[in-house]
Chain A
Amino acid sequence: MCLGSESAGLLTGQFRDRLLKSIEYLKFKARNHNAVAAHDYVSSVISEQEKYGVYRDLFPQEWATSQASFYQKGYYIKYSERTNELFHLINNKCFPLLDYLADDRENEFENFYIPPLNMDLCCEDIYFENLNTSYAAGLIFYFPDDAWEYLNERFRLSKRHFPKINPDPHPGVWKEKGCIFGDLLRFIDHSTDNPWLDSIYCQMSDWYGFNLETIQELSREYGAACKLLEGLKPLDALIEAHPKKMLSALIDFWNNGNLPDETTLSPTRTGRVS
């Protein structure tokens, strides 16, 4: 007897789950107590049970009202519909768990990697016109020729308008927390200590175990990464409005560790200055 997903779809609720459970039991008995099959089955039960625990603890309301089956396999066929529902909840409410996965229904989630939110400066082609203005400006310290060419095209600015850039940044650059220039440079330098911003595609990815602590930690880190990216938007606007003044301040920060003063970073005051 085979209860395919189409037939199973016609049945609902507890009856369907009882039927699927019975079929699973009969299939197991029919395998004539194969030890390897039993071992694999127990492993899969533990794996699913651990995920149900994550689901219940992370999304108690959704868990209480969910109708997704514990027995019918979901889109990712190694997991039940209920576990598949958890994957989608994490993807929608915590961080992009599924967005960058190859569309492989056989995928396993015991360990997973996260997609970088930053540019891969060592291998990726850099298309300046697609970058945020602040990111493109910050690249004068890493890819000066390309970056100045872009800034010249966009703002009619060239490096001869500015002080010479030191090959290495002032040590204070990395110490300043909460300064928007520091945030920008740490972001470009992949030294934010945030895995979403520091990882790159061409390095071996870190693999994360699927458990409650890791999911919660990655969610927090993802929120922090998005906040940092959002926080750089005002800098884009400032550079677009006053490119020469902002680039001078950025170079001064890189060379001497001097923090930009309030006037520089205030949109209204900056407006009057220029």
Chain B
Amino acid sequence: MIRESPLEILVKEKEQVNPAILLAEEFLRRDAGDLLSAEDISRAEDILQSSSLEIKILEGQLENFAGLPATPSLIIPVGF
């Protein structure tokens, strides 16, 4: 079995906009005087949880990625 490179793992990751961004966009368009229902708040709390988890995972991945040793490229960029 061929081990995937960190870059390949990253490329394969599901790509999505953080759900908090979509919810923030939604909230920003509504009037603050129209109070959220209990269901809305519950949905928002669920989204906050998953958003927070996603941020933590991404931060961890970034840290791991930055900690990888440098490897020579097969292609020499133009100018080098």
Contact = CB atoms under 8 A, between A and B. Distances in A.
Contacts of A33: 17, 21
A56 B20 contact: no
Interface stretch (A47-55, A99-107, A201-209): A47-55
B62 interface: no
A11 interface: no
Interface in B49-80: 51-52, 54-55, 58
A230 to B, nearest CB: 38
Given A41-B24, A52-B35, A35 B48 contact: no
B41 A50 contact: yes
Interface string B8-33: 00000000011011011101110111
B48 A43 contact: yes
Contact of A35 (B21, B29, B35): B21
Nearest to B23: A42
A110 interface: no
A12 B17 CA distance: 37
Interface residues of A, number: 24
Contacts of B54: 35
Given A35-B20, A38-B20, A39-B52, A49 B29 contact: no
Contact of B32 (A36, A42, A48, A53): A48
A38 B18 contact: yes
B69 to A, nearest CB: 28
Interface residues of B, number: 25
A45 interface: yes
A59 interface: no
A28 interface: yes
A52 B35 CA distance: 7
A80 interface: yes
Contacts of A62: none
Given A33-B17, A38-B18, A46 B29 contact: no
Given A42-B20, A52-B35, A71-B32, 4 more contacts: A35-B51, A42-B23, A42-B51, A49-B32
30 contacts: A21-B32, A24-B28, A25-B28, A25-B29, A35-B18, A35-B55, A35-B58, A38-B18, A38-B21, A38-B51, A39-B20, A39-B48, A39-B55, A41-B20, A41-B24, A42-B20, A42-B24, A42-B44, A42-B47, A42-B51, A43-B48, A45-B27, A45-B44, A46-B36, A46-B41, A48-B32, A49-B32, A49-B36, A52-B33, A52-B35
